[in-house]
Structure 1
Amino acid sequence: MNRNLAAGERVVGAEVLHGGITAEVLKLTAGTADGVTRDLVLRSFTDRFCEVQAEDWLEREAGALGLLSGTGVPAPGLVAVDPTGAHGEYPSLLMTHLAGRVVLDAEGLETRIPLLARQLVAIHAVRPAEQPRGYVALTTAETVVVPRGADAAVWAAAIDVIRRPAPPRRGRFLHRDFHPGNVLFDVPPSGSKEARIVGVVDWAAASWGPADLDVAHCATNLALLHGPAWGLRFAEAYEEAGGLLAEAASERLYWQVRDALACSEEVRSVAQPWREAGRVELTTRAVEERLDAYVTALLETLG
């Protein structure tokens, strides 16, 4: 670790950061002999289950952080990356620490959603010199897990939506995991109306694909956290911020439903990190119920 620090620096403190699902994240304090310190973040894939994909994720994240430097998108700065764990115990990435905190509670949500939308429009405006790898679909019609107590007919109709080929769409630079849990806010004592985004983290899935896919993912997460109406609201806010979505309602529905159904496979894994990161009271059963209600609301948008 010390080999990646500036001359005269050494690690003088470490703190576990909660809220991650696939990686262990530590906030490290590096200091010099004369007392100058700075904070860094070490992201390590300690789970053997994730080790196979760790190299790809870390290389992708390192590439994204390098690309975003100087763009105005508030992403961490890359310090060092060890995608195979050749120089440490685990595959890891070291980056600068960003101030701010994750905000997941309902208070001030109506103010934060436009901020999230404008930030995502800015991300999609990035024009990389070299096109990143294409997005990876996170579910298929055969792998969808229908929540307990859900309307079987509604879910069958939703699954039929994603059996169709993906609509052709112009590609954009995607975060691919953009949602409130990966956005850091500065919320001053004066209240949420003065909140601002100071960081966007977790770029391990950065890729190339339709803007609708990023919008759908954030919308799904908002629906699971706060209810279906907020998921639907985010897509509106994205367009109000100048973002362009598919013109045909059926094409928009395809991406929205695809992302919602992808969450059905991991609904049990999202509640705990949200509870840790945002101190929200959210049970797995509540997430299942909100997912079911969101899928129903999406299909109702077509009448």
Structure 2
Amino acid sequence: MSGGITAEMRKLTIWTTAGFSRNLVLRTYTEPASLQHAQDSLERESAALTMLSGSVVQAPELLAVDATAAHCEYPSLLMTHLPGSTVLSEAGVAERVPLLARQLVAIHAVNTDPRPREYQTMTTADTVVVPARADAEVWAAAIDVLRGPVPTYDGRVLHRDYQPGNVLFDASQDATPRITGVVDWAGASWGPTDLDVAHCSTNLALLHGPQWGARFASAYEESGGVLSENTRARQYWRVRDALACSEEGQLWSAPWREAGRVDLTPRLVEDRLDAYISMLMDARGH
């Protein structure tokens, strides 16, 4: 299966003696660089899938997990296969954005006890990679945002990698767009709704243009989602996520090109990120 960046994804078709079949998905961590985080990721995902099993969110059903490779060759997780496919094309983005927003509002409304682990962010002011053609003054100001205090927030369940590549849509070409599921819950955590909104906004800005990042945030609120009232806090979370992309933008865009978006060259993605950060610094989080 396509789509896995840190783990191998395999679709398995299981047949019974009666002739019935069932599709499953096996996530396996095989690369040395990902093995050190495999146990944590699989434990998070298995806990998240268990948490979501009684919710309205359409997520895979957990079947088995071996986070330490006690029984499998590599750390692995087995789950059900959801129908649908990811959609990254320019066509129909205006129809998909409100659906993406409503789905994220539903995720943030999930009540759970105990809570997932607190969110983590790795990017610091010292790890940001400024693109060669970027507006150095704007980026310096954006990096200074990270040096400020972390805004207070009311925590909610977060996906932490909510973006078009992890949302499945009805694959029928003639059907009205409909979300059939959300996958890749390895980063599920507890934190500010702004962080999930910021992450999807960054992805949409790179996929379709900076204006779509802002449109998604607006659609989230129009769907009943609640973001920080403080404009500085909104700016902080969106700038933080956008700057995190500076370190791994090509890691994001390579699967997009493999999925057919060959127009998303490294240069275009870099330029869109620069334009998006400039927009965030000019708009101050609105």
TM-score bracket, normalised by the shorter chain, equals over 0.9
User: Quick one: which amino acid aligns to residue 161 of structure 2?
Assistant: D
Q: Does 1:242 align with 2:211?
A: no
| 1:115 corresponds to | 99
Question: 1:88 Cα shift?
Answer: 1.1
Secondary structure of 2:32's counterpart equals coil
Report if the CA contact (8 A) 1:81-1:93 is conserved: yes
1:186-213 CA deviation, whole Å, 9 max, x = no partner? 043325xx11000100000000000000
| 1:286 corresponds to | 268
Identify the range of structure 1 (32-41 vs 279-288) with the bigger mean alpha-carbon deviation.
279-288
| 1:180 corresponds to | 164
Instruction: State the TM-score, normalizing by the size of structure 2.
Output: 0.97
| 2:173 corresponds to | 189
Query: Residue 25 of structure 1 is aligned with which of 9, 17, 30?
Result: 9
Distance in 2, matches of 1:72 and 1:115, equals 15
Query: Residue 151 of structure 2 is aligned with which of 167, 176, 180?
Result: 167
Give the share of equivalent positions with the same residue, in percent: 63
| 2:259 corresponds to | 277
Name stretches of at least 5 consecutive residues in structure 1 with no aligned partner: 1-16
Distance in 2, matches of 1:118 and 1:213, equals 16
> Could you say what the CA RMSD is over the residues aligned between the two structures, in angstroms?
1.2
| 2:28 corresponds to | 44
Report if the CA contact (8 A) 1:148-1:288 is conserved: no
1:136-181 CA deviation, whole Å, 9 max, x = no partner? 0131111000112101101000000111111000000000000000
Distance in 2, matches of 1:275 and 1:89, equals 31
Q: Does 1:64 align with 2:64?
A: no
Residues 134, 297 of structure 1: CA spacing in aligned structure 2 closer, same or farther, 3 A cutoff? same
Q: Does 1:125 align with 2:109?
A: yes
| 1:268 corresponds to | 250
Question: 1:275 Cα shift?
Answer: 2.0
Distance in 2, matches of 1:76 and 1:284, equals 32
Distance in 2, matches of 1:299 and 1:138, equals 21
Question: 1:267 Cα shift?
Answer: 1.1
Q: How does 1:178-257 map to 2 (within 5 A)?
A: 178-190=162-174, 194-257=176-239
Distance in 2, matches of 1:302 and 1:207, equals 26
1:37-70 CA deviation, whole Å, 9 max, x = no partner? 1000000111111111100000000000000002
